[in-house]
Amino acid sequence: MTTPDPQPPTPESPDTPEPQFKDRVYRSPSGIAGGALLLAIMGWLGIDALVTGGGRTPWLALATLLLLVPPVTAFTLRPAVYANEQRLRVRNPFRVITLPWGTVEAFRSGYSNEVLDTVGGKYQVWAVPVSLRGRKRAARKEARGDTPGARRGRSPQSPQPAPVADGPVRAQGDQIMDELRELLEARGKDPRAQGEVSVRWAYEVAAPAAAGAVLLAILLAVG
């Protein structure tokens, strides 16, 4: 009996998409912590007023919660950036912007982080705030040579020198923007990363806040 020769692998169709890596998700830990604290305080005060308040107090508490909870959630817990092989998705307080990598022109960092598209659009990246304090802290570490890979010399216990740092110390927000720039450079010309920019408004945030504002205005007007 003879063993059949192994067949060469069949080439994949050009229409077959490449496997996508899982989305990289970037968020602000300080924003999440601050938002959770604010929501806990508002929830405690609001529920107490709803349960124990008399007269119009429960209605005022309900209107105030409807008015304040959505914006607080939008500006603290909601912002996030999702990046994969095909596209960048920026979730801001009131909008979700989806940009295929081919439509991204550049990332810009100043007093805020922004993404620019190829047709002149500019979108702020809320989930990656600029921290001037973080930049100053990174600059101090760089000046001291206090880096994970900094050379610390020889000692009897450690005769080999520590490895030299690969680059300058960067603040966390600047590191994230550097990663996004690397993704843009790697994926921007890929045919599978082309398309059009999509912007969707977050009506799920605006509608409850508007309802709370209307209810509060009515209660104050008739009171």
Return the pLDDT at 174: 82
Instruction: Give the type of residue at 42.
Output: M
Q: Give the chain's radius of gyration (CA, Å).
A: 26
- Residue 72 phi, psi dihedral angles, 5° rounding: -65, -45
Closest to 92 measured CA to CA, from 3, 176, 27 = 27
Return the pLDDT at 109: 86
Whether the pTM exceeds 0.85: the reply is: no
Return the pLDDT at 167: 54
What pLDDT, in 10s, does the model give residues 40-92?
A: 999 999 999 999 888 889 999 999 999 999 999 999 999 999 999 999 999 99
Return the pLDDT at 92: 96
Task: Say how far apart CA 173 and CA 131 lie, in whole Å.
Answer: 7
Return the pLDDT at 23: 87
The percent of residues above 70 in pLDDT, for the chain, comes to 72
Return the pLDDT at 11: 43
Taking the chain (223 residues) in consecutive chunks of 10 residues, what is each chunk's mean pLDDT? 42 45 88 96 94 90 94 96 94 96 92 91 92 62 57 41 50 85 92 93 94 93 82
Taking phi over 0 as left and psi of -120 to 50 as alpha, with beta for the rest, 120 belongs to left
Task: Say how far apart CA 123 and CA 116 lie, in whole Å.
Answer: 7
SS3 56: coil
Return the pLDDT at 67: 95
Contact indicator for 27, 33 with CB cutoff of 8 Å = no
Return the pLDDT at 150: 43
The residue count of the chain comes to 223
Return the pLDDT at 19: 43
